[in-house]
Amino acid sequence: MHRASETNHIDAWMGWFGNVVLEAQSRTLQNIRFLIEKTRFLDRLRDKLNTRQEKVLLRMLAEGPDGFQGGLSAQNYRSITGTTSATATRDLADLVFLGALNRTGENRYARYSLCLG
């Protein structure tokens, strides 16, 4: 971009600047969409979650639209909440039933992702 500042030819700079603006707009729109989805998600689950479930969902939402990289495991759930395996299993099954989480895999390979939208 240094070359563009040495001449009156600003086409390259204008192209670069336009791309930066478009990228910023795209990221802003993604953030706004996620915020709206997050609000609807939490409104839909209002008064249906226990304290542990709410804590985990808020932690996942803090990571952005995809939640945890690779998905939430029962071990992650226990680590965040400090609960037993049996309670974590019940809480996670309830979150799937409520439509808050999607489950993939089985047994110890089960992973959970946010079900936004």
Q: What is the SS3 string spanning the chain?
A: CHHHHHCCCCHHHHHHHHHHHHHHHHHHHHHHHHHHHHHHHHHHCCCCCCHHHHHHHHHHHHCCCCCCCCCECHHHHHHHHCCCHHHHHHHHHHHHHCCCEEEECCHHHCEEEECCC
Q: What is the pLDDT of residue 82?
A: 96
Q: What is the pLDDT of residue 50?
A: 96
Q: What is the pTM of this model?
A: 0.76
Residues, the chain = 117
Q: What is the pLDDT of residue 112?
A: 95
Q: What is the pLDDT of residue 1?
A: 52
Q: What is the pLDDT of residue 55?
A: 96
Q: What is the pLDDT of residue 30?
A: 87
Q: What is the pLDDT of residue 5?
A: 60
Per-range mean pLDDT, top range of 15-19, 51-55, 68-72? 51-55
